[in-house]
Amino acid sequence: MSSDSVHARAMQHTLETLRPQGSAVASGDSLNSSNTLPSAIDSLTRSRSRSVQPYALIEGFFERFSGKVRRPDMAHHAWPQTLRKSKLEAALVKQGFCPDPKTFHQLSPVGLAGTPFVFSLLETTLDPNSDPNGVLYCFVCSAGGRNPFVTKSVEPSPQGTLDVIPVPNVLCIVTKLPLFDLFFRILETVRSFGHRDHVLKYLNWHGLDMLFADRGVVPEMAGVDWDDLRRCVRLSRPLADEWRILKTGATLFTENILPGAFARWQVHSALHTLLTRWPSLAGDTLARLLVAMLLEQKVLLIGDVDQVSTVALLLRALMWPFRWMHPLLSAPPPVQILDMPLLEATMPIVVSICRLHDQWGCDSVYTLPEDVVVGILSNDYVHVSDGQQNIAGLPASKIRFPGDYHASFTRHAAEVRRALANGGLTPDEAVEAIRDAIGSQVGRLAEIVRRYAAWNLSQLLAQWKASAQAPEEWEESEERCFQRAVDRSNFMEWLSADSPLELRSSEAAAFYETFFQTQLCIQLLAEEVAHQWHRSGANKS
């Protein structure tokens, strides 16, 4: 076996570990494969019988120490102790998803300049038996100057002498809750304590009860300000009410309540960060990158670490109820992963970096593979190759919402940004305005899928009633409904009759034809067929 094929197999294995399992059609399978429907049915069945377990505020905490140590296991601290020698510890420390202090504090573009950021891992990294589509959010920051346990390293000065330079440790909180401001504030709180395990236990014990309470009495701990933490939970009232699902742990996991809630929370937190720090990105750039992901393109985000991680996580959350089923690196990954030719992968992928990696052999974005959509965030610019075409012949320059929808959103976003800059809108009001505007575009696509699934079911049921066949001969009818639904020509004919204005141009037709062939669209269609089939009672006829 050649070294190239071995390298390719190693890269494929690595990318598969970063990809949600159990829901996507396997890479290379036909989109007309029947594998998608059984997985959707199984997921629906599990969701009806599974109760939500109460969520901890913090799933884990790691501190990576600076300086040389004699034993590798002494180079970091893990809380709780059960995380020692766990798969999560291996991913964060051994594989380096949580950067070591030297890498974290080196100036960009070589290092991360000590900039706090968020990255995500699959929930199965924490527990192999957990939701294969679940996500862990890892918040990283420096231990900072107030940490009494900051170690020191000896490094040469520009004059050639040896200077003792403080190198702060690196802290990482792991949680299932996508609340950016809150967990960075919790990190600020935790790093001021010498005995961090004690305050972590305290926060976990009281966290779910206290964060959304108007007031409450808890045992006081000097240095923990609950009112300050509550102010960091930037959620509108409807989103705040969803917290009770987690607090009680008694609500059935139905209708995708929790994944939908988490997506909305993440949009709110990430969009707030975007609008307050990089508002210009909340317009054409955001929309075009979102469309690229909805069309399952390879997407490369280039910018400062906090910028790329915010945008990557925001884009994934904005896609709901569609789900990104491919590798997503929401922050610069460890160097051993960057050394792989990620952009030559045979599957869609999102990669976030601070600069082009030397091993890729590309000195500019213009020499990257043609099928990569590049978001140069520092310049508020999306680059697509002139030679790129999608599977339905949609020109790369037209990777945007079809018809007038894209222009309408960008105009509205510009008005919102002006109002925010002039004080006409608060940041929270601007977040809701942008969220609703771009969410309506994704919601429109999801509604098309739902209507199409309902139409296919109605056609089959009408055929069923007109048939003289016995019900037992229709055991495979649900599968037949799905197979009929995934036929691309059926979809385009239905869309032409149902919503002719959606296909007013050849570019719009190419967009929908491309979109319908994505795994994220087929997965939602399979879930809708299964859900509507069971809800109709056809399976009991």
CB-facing half-sphere around the CA of 138: CA atoms within 13 A: 28
Q: Which two tokens stand for residue 113?
A: 């300049």
pLDDT of residue 262: 84
Please determine, for residue 496, whether its predicted confidence score (pLDDT) is greater than 90.
yes
pLDDT of residue 364: 87
Average pLDDT over residues 67-82: 74
**Could you tell me if 192 and 198 are in contact, meaning their C-beta atoms sit under 8 angstroms apart?**
no
State pLDDT tens for residues 318-365. Answer: 999 999 999 999 999 988 888 888 888 888 999 999 988 887 888 888
Helices (H) and strands (E) in the chain, counts: 19, 12
Residue 136's DSSP bridge partners are: 121
The total domain count for the chain is 2
Of 113-127, 255-269, 371-385, 490-504, the range with the lowest mean pLDDT is 255-269
- CA dist 22 and 44 (Å) reads 13
Please determine, for residue 440, whether its predicted confidence score (pLDDT) is greater than 60.
yes
Q: Which comes out higher in pLDDT, residue 74 or 359? A: 359
The reply to whether 498 falls in a domain is yes
pLDDT of residue 461: 78
Dihedral (Cα; 493, 498, 502, 508), 10-degree rounding: -10
Q: Please give the distance of CA 101 from its chain centroid, rounded to a whole number.
A: 25
What H or E segment, with its residue span, contains residue 141? strand 135-142
Please determine, for residue 145, whether its predicted confidence score (pLDDT) is greater than 80.
no
- CA dist 279 and 275 (Å) reads 4
Q: For 49-95, give the DSSP string.
A: HPBPPPPPS-SEEEEEPPS--SSGGGSEEEESGGGTT-HHHIIIIIS
The reply to whether 22 falls in a domain is no
- CA dist 293 and 290 (Å) reads 5
Beta-carbon contacts of residue 86 (< 8 Å; ≥ 6 apart): 78, 126
Please determine, for residue 29, whether its predicted confidence score (pLDDT) is greater than 50.
no
State pLDDT tens for residues 510-529. Answer: 899 999 999 999 999 998 98
Last residue of a domain, one of 234, 253, 272: 234
Last residue of a domain, one of 212, 234, 256: 234
Query: Counting every residue, how long is the chain?
Result: 541
Integer-rounded Cα Rg, in Å, for the chain is 25
Beta-carbon contacts of residue 153 (< 8 Å; ≥ 6 apart): 66, 67, 164, 165, 167
The reply to whether 402 falls in a domain is no
Last residue of a domain, one of 183, 218, 234: 234
- CA dist 508 and 395 (Å) reads 11
pLDDT of residue 253: 41
Please determine, for residue 307, whether its predicted confidence score (pLDDT) is greater than 90.
yes
The reply to whether 367 falls in a domain is no
Q: Which two tokens stand for residue 78?
A: 């893990």
User: Computed from CA positions of residues 448, 450, 453, 454, in that sequence, does the dihedral angle turn out positive or negative?
Assistant: negative
pLDDT of residue 294: 95
Please determine, for residue 7, whether its predicted confidence score (pLDDT) is greater than 60.
no
The reply to whether 531 falls in a domain is yes
The reply to whether 339 falls in a domain is no
The reply to whether 282 falls in a domain is no
Question: To the nearest whole number, what is the mean pLDDT of the chain?
Answer: 79
Average pLDDT over residues 371-393: 83
Nearest Cα to 478, choosing from 508, 457, 502? 457
Domain, as residue range, for 467: 440-540
Phi-psi region of 80 (alpha: psi -120 to 50; beta: other; left: phi over 0): beta
Of 44-48, 158-162, 261-265, 271-275, the range with the lowest mean pLDDT is 44-48
Of 97-101, 242-246, 258-262, the range with the lowest mean pLDDT is 242-246
Please determine, for residue 173, whether its predicted confidence score (pLDDT) is greater than 60.
yes
The reply to whether 30 falls in a domain is no
